Amino acid sequence: MRSKVLIWIALLGCSTISYAQQLLSPDGNLEMNFRLDEKGAPVYDLSYKQKEVIKPSHLGLELKKEDADAAVDFEFKQRKDVDALDKKTNLYDGFRIKDTR
């Protein structure tokens, strides 16, 4: 019974954990905050001596799509240096068998 109560307390404590992180400079003047917004997207902001330097901004890349009707926004090109690339990345080349015991 006591272990069940402890488990419930632990679960309640875990449910209130915030996923926000705060970084401070060694002198404490710079403060950077990271968190997730209501949609789960990462957001950060930066303050210097409690004055906002960077307003809350989303992290990540926003890729521009050239053709809105295209399924993908890239194309495959034939490589001419496939053999040279294969020699460079082949893990079997450059080794010799020393012993087979």
Half-sphere exposure of 99 (CA within 13 A, CB side): 1
Separation of CA 96 from chain center: 40
Task: Summarize pLDDT for 20-75 with one digit per residue, the tens.
Answer: 899 999 999 999 999 998 888 899 999 999 999 999 999 887 766 666 676 666 67
Task: Summarize pLDDT for 59-70 with one digit per residue, the tens.
Answer: 887 766 666 676
The model carries a pTM of 0.45
Distance CA 53, CA 55 (A): 6
Q: Please enumerate in sequence order all residues whose Cβ is within 8 A of that of 43, keeping only pairs 6 or more positions apart, or say none.
A: 34, 35, 36, 37, 56, 57, 58, 59
DSSP 95: -
